[in-house]
Amino acid sequence: MDNTHFFAIIVAGGSGKRMNTEIPKQFLLLKGKPVIMHSIETFYRNPHQPAIIVVLNQNDIALWEQLVTEHDFNIPHTVVAGGAERFHSVKNGLDLIDDKDAIIAVHDAVRPLVTEKTISNCYQTALKSGNAVAAIPSKDSVRLVKNGKSEALDRKAVYLVQTPQTFKLSQLKTAYQQTYNSFFTDDASVVEHAGFTINLEAGDEDNFKITFKTDLKLAESIFDGKL
């Protein structure tokens, strides 16, 4: 591990559409500070000490700089402008890394409850096996809709994918040479389409994506230890 350098690409290009807010959800306050800052802080505290790259919508960079000043946020990080889709945003962050031994964790900025344990486990599995994608087993019954008809699936075989999604640089560089496809909803789908087998790593129930206002309230309750 001494010769391996770790990175974290924090993807924060989302808007506030589903939250019905003018401010993008990653900048909404959670326990007195923007959601994204919680995510960055957890990676910064991690024993692997990853170099942090924050990918923002070009139009949000000035706002971020303002928030950094207002909250006296002094964690070292590099900011890069995102692209039209998540695929392009991750690619722009990836272009800043040329360390051939790098292990890179890609994380949604709006998953502020990610734990250091999950981050470490993903880094270690990726180091050994090439990649690691945090995921949790489905608790609910699930059905697949196909040609207008639904059919039951074995929920024991269904996992809900989270982030971080962590990879050796060589896998990500190869995968992101592909042309964008609307099927690419996360890094795992991009890397798998390039021919690599994806390894699942145990995620955490609290590591959910803040999408709606109720998610923000739930996150606050978890931080307060009320749940």
Strands 131-137, 200-202: pairing is parallel
Q: Tell me how long the chain is.
A: 227
Give me the pLDDT at residue 45, please. 97
The range of the structural domain enclosing residue 123 comes to: 6-213
What are the pLDDT digits (tens) for 133-145?
A: 999 999 999 999 9
Q: Report the percent of the chain where pLDDT is more than 70.
A: 94
pLDDT at 19 over 60: no
Whole-number CA gyration radius for the chain = 17
51-60 in b/e form (b: 16+ CB < 10 A) is bbbbbbbeeb
Give me the pLDDT at residue 131, please. 98
pLDDT at 210 over 90: yes
Q: What mean pLDDT comes out for the span 198-204?
A: 97
| In-domain check, residue 218 | no
Helix axes 116-129, 35-45, angle to 10 degrees: 60
Give me the pLDDT at residue 16, please. 44
Q: How far apart are CA 52 and CA 17, in angstroms?
A: 27
Task: Please state whether the peptide bond connecting residue 24 to the residue before it is cis, i.e. omega within 30 degrees of 0.
Answer: no
| In-domain check, residue 173 | yes
The CATH number linked to 148 is: 3.90.550.10
Least confident of 14-28, 101-115, 144-158, 173-187: 14-28
| In-domain check, residue 19 | yes
Give me the pLDDT at residue 21, please. 60
pLDDT class for 226, splitting at 50, 70, 90? low
Give me the pLDDT at residue 3, please. 58
Average pLDDT, the chain: 93
Give me the pLDDT at residue 4, please. 72
pLDDT at 14 over 90: no
| In-domain check, residue 220 | no
Q: Are 151 and 144 in contact (CB under 8 A)?
A: yes
Q: DSSP states of the chain as a string?
A: -TT--EEEEEEE---STTTT-SS-GGGSEETTEEHHHHHHHHHHHSTT--EEEEEE-GGGHHHHHHHHHHTT-----EEEE--SSHHHHHHHHHTT---TT-EEEEEETT-TT--HHHHHHHHHHHHHHSEEEEEEE--S-EEEEETTEEEEE-GGG-EEEEEEEEEEHHHHHHHTTSPP-TT--SHHHHHHHTTPPPPEEE--TT-----SHHHHHHHHHHHTT--
> Which residues have a Cβ under 8 Å from the Cβ of 141 and sit 6 or more positions away?
152, 155
| In-domain check, residue 154 | yes
**Which pTM value belongs to this model?**
0.94
What are the pLDDT digits (tens) for 62-104?
A: 999 999 999 999 999 999 999 999 999 999 999 999 999 999 9
| In-domain check, residue 195 | yes
pLDDT class for 113, splitting at 50, 70, 90? very high
Give me the pLDDT at residue 13, please. 79
| In-domain check, residue 1 | no
Number of domains in the chain: 1
